[in-house]
Amino acid sequence: MPERTIFFAHEPILHVTAPLPEAQLIESRLINILHFQTLIASKAARSVLVAPDKLLVDFGMRRAHGAEAGLLAARAAYLAGFSGTATVQASQRFGVPVYGTMAHSFVQAHDDEVEAFEHFALANPDNVVLLLDNYDTESAAEKTVELARRLNAQGIEVKGVRLDSGDLAEHARRVRRIFDDGGLPNVTIFASGNLDECKLHDLLASGAPIDGFGIGSRLDVSADAPYLDCAYKLQEYAGRPRRKRSEGKATWPGRKQVYRAFVEGVMAGDVVTLQGDPHPGQPLLCEVMNNGQRVGTAKPLLELRQYAAENLSQLPPRLKQIEGDAPYSVTISRAVRELARSIDQSAYERSLP
């Protein structure tokens, strides 16, 4: 399936045809790449569905399980619809937009909080986003109002502030009130601190005036669902279909295709069938390599991101909700079931004395 495609349980997402030693050689690395980025993109997509109009930034590099994981998480989150990342190398490697604020240590290195804010603004006049929660959040907001007037005289604008601790909703309300009363209605409020899609849902449902979110720890390790049960299994060998029949891990044999039906532009159900057994709908598996060579060119990440947004928009409304466990119809075709039955029957006959 092309990268950016939404898929569901029991569906094949990759089909490799190769001599057995070659196919086996790539197994672990292939699953590692596909599994991890699918996991993070899925987690990120849930935040995008909850807060589609908000600035969402990947903040998870520090919690990721290694440097490569942090880079790939930034890429996967951006593909799924995040606005960007705080991981600078992801911009250099993949073109992911970079966002950042200021460090707690920068403020703490100064004896005076206002002086820290001013030094940061003078050093970064085009991106003044101040961190308010080092000492007292509301006091820092009031200091920001006074500082903004002095900075404006120098042609520097305070773009936003960041909240990173405490009751984010209540702090946001108080800070918003301070800024509005102080003549800073355009200063945005950005929040971070152990956030995920569930906390985003609660914050937005409470009416918290927050314009953007930094999501880190729970995203880059996908804290509540840290793995997907994906597998790489032999389905055909030497021209004959193969099937694993072990309890709880049985597989469907043969080379397969997935067809997706739509009703008025909305996903209406998938059918997993054999190649050569066409069904109504859009076939999802397409050729990307032939005889060891890539077919066509790799799609730019920005284009993949646009495709992913289209895919998310095609989800049924019930699947756009983070609450509940709404089913999606994935049908195993009669052709696949008949092939499995014939293999089982042949195995049974061979076992007879």
The tens-digit pLDDT sequence of the chain (353 residues) is 999 999 999 999 999 999 999 999 999 999 999 999 999 999 999 999 999 999 999 999 999 999 999 999 999 999 999 999 999 999 999 999 999 889 999 999 999 999 999 999 999 999 999 999 999 999 999 999 999 999 999 999 999 999 999 999 999 999 999 999 999 999 999 999 999 999 999 999 999 999 999 999 999 999 999 999 889 999 999 999 999 999 888 999 999 999 999 999 999 999 999 999 999 999 999 999 999 899 989 899 999 999 999 999 999 999 999 887 778 999 999 999 999 999 999 887 787 77
* C-alpha to C-alpha distance for 271 and 261, rounded to whole angstroms: 8
Quote the strand ranges of the chain, DSSP E: 55-58, 84-85, 128-131, 158-163, 188-192, 212-215, 236-237, 240-241, 256-263, 266-274, 282-283, 289-290, 293-294, 330-332
The region, left, alpha or beta by phi > 0 then psi within -120 to 50, assigned to residue 219 is: alpha
- CA pair distance 167, 173, nearest whole angstrom: 10
Using CA atoms, how far residue 209 sits from 26, 56, 191, 312, in Å, is 48, 15, 10, 25
Q: Calculate the alpha carbon distances from 147 to 79, 115, 239, 340 in Å.
A: 38, 9, 75, 72
Q: How far apart are CA 154 and CA 337, in angstroms?
A: 73
**Phi, psi (degrees; rounded to nearest 5) at 9:** -55, 145
Please tell me the predicted confidence (pLDDT) of residue 60.
95
pLDDT at residue 332, as a whole number: 97
- Report the candidate in 230, 231, 236 with the shortest Cα–Cα distance to residue 340: 236
